[in-house]
Amino acid sequence: MRFLKSASLFLLLSVLVCSASHLQASSSRRQILISPQAHSDGRVTFRLKAPNAKSVGVNVQFAQGIRPMTRNKSGVWSITLGPAEPEIYEYSFIVDGLQIVDPANSWLKVWIRTSKNLVEIPGKKPMFFQQQQVPHGTVHLHKYPSKSLGVTRGLYIYTPPGYEMSKNVPYPVLYLLHGMGDTEDAWTVVGRANLIADNLLASKKAKPMVIVMPYGHTPSAPPDMRSIGKYGAFEKDLIEDVIPYIQKHYRVSKDQKNRAIAGLSMGGGQSLTIGLGNLELFGWVGAFSSAVPKSPKLDELLANAKAKNKKLNLLWIGCGNKDFLFQANRKLIERLNTDNIKHVAHITEGSHEWRLWRRYLNVLVPLLFKADK
């Protein structure tokens, strides 16, 4: 009888051990692949499981060209690159000649025609665009009816810390515009406008403000109002729909001196066109790596320098010296100097990239809504 009990106990233990081993093996097979993996020394490891692929490479912003990856016995391809400077970088995988996103990384920069993953390399100290231990504002996502375009459109709005508690305080507002390949989420997903504002406010370098990030494309408009350099449809939507919507739903000032417009690339061209063309609405204009309006539109926008200087609190132009739009921006600055239109020129190293645009926003925001000139 004791033998039967011992045999039964041994059989039960054997079953449990086998079951545990099977579960452990299954768990190992289902182990989540970590990619990308940022290391403390600034290097990054990229991984992709593709057992049937003949070649896999990674194209990452801080390395030159496509870097070939190596495959292990489990069919996982990997490579460690760097070190790189603390920043946010774009990357994608190239599998047998086809560009794909990293299935292990949900952080995507979505362009209109393509997408890439993002990886952040932290610094020893938090960067100005990184989340820090400070009070945080709120990013609101709205859908609003655009009567001028006859469609419903998306809108991101940042409200600063303390907005909900300050019931009777009207805030200045910055209309912040994205580039040609972007959508209305670009300034939060990649540009980190909300975190940049949080950190500036916490260090008392900027005034509390509402930041409005609209969708800059107008696909429902006639082609002659939405082609490159022609922003009539967007201007109409911004002035007739977006601004009234913001003034109805948020506590923002309606004064020209408390309203700014700024943007990057296409959004920079929109900011120059709409801002300089409507100085009764906007007292502050910023353009990052701007698609500069061409004559005769530019001539119209810069006419009557004396009146421009009287109404403008700030015209801020930033561009990298390796940007494909640098020559156009350099000529714009020369024209502003010739016409004696007051402005700030901010020329830096760099090309047409978010690395610069985040920095430009960090420089511009503290300048906004200061005392009258």
Burial of 112 (0-12, 13-18, 19+ CB in 10 A): exposed
Options 3.10.20.600, 2.60.40.10, 3.40.50.620, 1.10.10.10; CATH of 37-121: 2.60.40.10
Average the pLDDT over 228-242 and give the result: 91
340 token code pair: 């004696």
Beta strands 284-288; 314-320: pairing state = parallel
Average the pLDDT over 351-373 and give the result: 91
Check residue 166 and give its pLDDT: 83
Does position 3 have pLDDT exceeding 80, yes or no? no
Say what the pTM is.
0.86
189 token code pair: 């997903």
Range in 6-10, 115-119, 237-241, 290-294 with the lowest mean pLDDT: 6-10
SS3 331: helix
Higher pLDDT pick, 229 / 320: 320
What CA–CA distances, in Å, run from 265 to 127, 132, 182, 278, 352? 24, 28, 10, 20, 8
pLDDT band for 227, please (50, 70, 90 cuts). low
What CA–CA distances, in Å, run from 277 to 75, 123, 224, 232, 373? 58, 41, 19, 11, 20
Fold of the 138-367 domain = Rossmann fold (3.40.50)
Check residue 7 and give its pLDDT: 42
pLDDT digits (tens, 9 = 90+) for 186-197: 999 999 999 999
Q: Where are the domains of the chain?
A: 37-121, 138-367
Eight-class DSSP state of 85: -
Would you tell me how many other CB atoms lie within 10 Å of the CB of residue 185? 18
